[in-house]
Amino acid sequence: MRPRPRPRARLLAAFAALALALGPAIAEARPGGGFSSGSRGSRSYAPPPSTRTAPGTANPFNRTETPRPGYNAPSPGYAQPRPTPSYTNPNRGGMFGGGFMSGLMGGLLGAGIAGMLFGHGAFGGMSGGAGFLGFLLQLALIAGIIWFVLRALRNRSPAPAMAGATPNGAMARSLDDGNAMGRGAGGRTATRALQITETDFAAFENTLIRINQAWSNRDTGTLARLATPEMVRYFEGDLRDLSARGWHNETRDVRLESGDLSEAWAEDGLEYATVAMRFSMIDVTRDTAGQVVEGDPNTRQTSTEIWTFVRRPRETWLLSAIQQVG
């Protein structure tokens, strides 16, 4: 009769599986999920200039609804070609990539951990030290496959999609009318430099604080007043991913430590401003029982990100992109 695995071994194996599967996700629960997400009009695939606050290079977008132009790089002095507009829902990525990856992870964790807890082993049983070592090797192999697939999904270039229904809201109508993504497949976007004032910088700082407050309160209505429909869809998807795992992320007491302008321009009746911001905050993720699963409620964390804002002239700035700094 094959010996049953000891309870302690089963428990350790369960914790190992959870650590491998959830560890990378917990650390990226703040607004934006640690991704580079959103759109910068015709400059979505052009890196913003570095600044004193963010001297490194901004990471390309992992999540964007702007299709990649199927053209060679334009000649110097010209803006990127304008792609066809698309308002289809993005592949949100989320904690495990959403969709397929969430199902895959759920199946693996459900089958593996349930098997351990009921005494059958993760994948058909473990026998002695060799069986336990083999189980850990299987976990490592699965974690490697998941990491590879996640990386491929995040780096995958979004394919052009057929335009769907126009999103609701004033900014959605502005995007549809003025078309921040451009109209036509062969034209070039005419841009001009834009002057940013102290009032604009104050608005950017205020939006940074208010978006984190709305995120912490899971207030999607306020997020919809502060960001473009595209960014709101990313926020909503990430909040759903957290909720599905029984987690709630809270970012509070946000303070802008430094910030400066990367670039500002106008195109197609819209104005854009890309700014680098270094800010500190309390960033804590809790479970349904209120227990801290990541972060320290007494220790401030500092982040540097590049945010892009868009507006109709003389209207309110809305967040249209968040990029991480490499």
Which domains are seen in the chain, by residue range? Answer: 31-90+158-324 (3.10.450.240)
- Per-residue model confidence (pLDDT) at position 117: 45
85: nearest Cα among 224, 325, 315, 270: 270
Cβ neighbour number for residue 319 with a 10 Å cutoff? 25
Residues 126-159 have pLDDT tens digits of 445 555 556 666 666 676 666 555 555 544 444 3
Q: What are 225's two structure tokens?
A: 């007043």
How long is the chain? 326
pLDDT by residue (tens digit) across 201-230? 999 999 999 999 999 999 999 999 999 999
Between CA 290 and CA 296 the distance in angstroms is 13
What does the alpha-carbon distance between residue 24 and residue 277 come to, in Å, rounded to a whole number? 24
pLDDT of residue 173: 40
Mean pLDDT, residues 172-182: 40
pTM: 0.62
